[in-house]
């Protein structure tokens, strides 16, 4: 190989490594930015199949604002589509689902928040006049906990003593910041 070929090969490798580093850096920055500056809300959680021995200690969370019910979806929405859930605060840790839209809605103030979701399942009833309903996935259904704490936290979820602390970005993206039991933070997601 000539010197020019070696030089251009090293330049190409440096560019590829630089691009990969930028992508990884952006992913880390995006998560840290959401956790540190996203709007913090607390949501009541409901128990869902709580343990998987193959993946380590984590808690699977369901939320009171969806509570496993079939949710009315906008016309034309299908499984895998992105939708936006408008939540209204009834009281601290008590948010209710006000509606689901295909486009991100504007919030009206402090008592509302929009969560971005993926339609996990969508179906229509037997009659064609029935609306499309489905289930939503927000990406905040699983929270990894320190080794040995999974069963303790699971018990507290069953006793309805746990609230999830969520960080919500202006784009509707949500991240779990931690868990609270009886108003005290018991587990916190590290920024890095």
pLDDT at 189 over 70: yes
Q: Are 61 and 140 in contact (CB under 8 A)?
A: yes
**Which residues share a beta bridge with 147?**
none
> What is the sign, positive or negative, of the torsion defined by CA atoms of 64, 67, 72, 73?
positive
Residue 13 lies in a domain: no
CA nearest neighbour of 168 among 140, 136, 137, 135: 140
Residue of 192 and 44 predicted with greater confidence: 44
Reduced to 3 states, what is the DSSP secondary structure of residue 159? coil
pLDDT of residue 80: 94
Query: Cα(169)–Cα(171) distance, rounded to whole angstroms?
Result: 5
Residue of 132 and 74 predicted with greater confidence: 74
pLDDT at 87 over 70: yes
Residue 173 lies in a domain: yes
The pTM assigned to this predicted structure is 0.72
Task: Kindly indicate the confidence band of residue 133, based on its pLDDT and cuts at 50, 70 and 90.
Answer: confident
pLDDT at 21 over 70: yes
> What is the sign, positive or negative, of the torsion defined by CA atoms of 98, 140, 142, 146?
negative
Residue 94 lies in a domain: yes
Q: What are 145-158's pLDDT values in tens digits? A: 777 777 788 788 77
Q: Are 107 and 95 in contact (CB under 8 A)?
A: no
Domain limits for position 43:
38-188
- Backbone dihedral angles phi then psi of residue 24, each to the nearest 5 degrees: -65, -45
Residue 18 lies in a domain: no
pLDDT of residue 103: 94
Tally of structural domains, the chain: 1
Residue 6 lies in a domain: no
């Amino acid at each position: 190989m000539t010197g020019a070929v070696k030089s251009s090969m090293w330049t190409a490798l440096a560019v590829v490594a630089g691009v990969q580093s930028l992508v990884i850096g952006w992913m880390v920055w995006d998560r840290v930015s959401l956790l540190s500056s996203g709007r913090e809300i607390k949501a009541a959680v409901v128990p869902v199949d709580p343990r998987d021995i193959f993946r380590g200690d984590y808690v699977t969370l369901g939320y009171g604002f969806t509570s496993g019910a079939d949710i009315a979806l906008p016309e034309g929405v299908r499984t895998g589509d992105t939708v936006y859930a408008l939540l209204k605060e009834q009281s601290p840790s008590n948010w209710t689902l006000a509606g689901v839209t295909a486009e991100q809605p504007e919030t009206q103030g402090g008592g509302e928040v929009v969560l971005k979701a993926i339609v996990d399942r969508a179906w229509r009833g037997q009659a064609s006049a029935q609306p499309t309903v489905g289930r939503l996935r927000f990406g905040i259904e699983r929270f990894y906990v320190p080794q040995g704490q999974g069963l303790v936290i699971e018990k507290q979820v069953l006793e309805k003593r746990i609230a999830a602390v969520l960080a919500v970005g202006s784009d509707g993206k949500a991240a779990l910041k931690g868990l609270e039991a009886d108003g005290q933070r018991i587990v916190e997601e590290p920024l890095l």
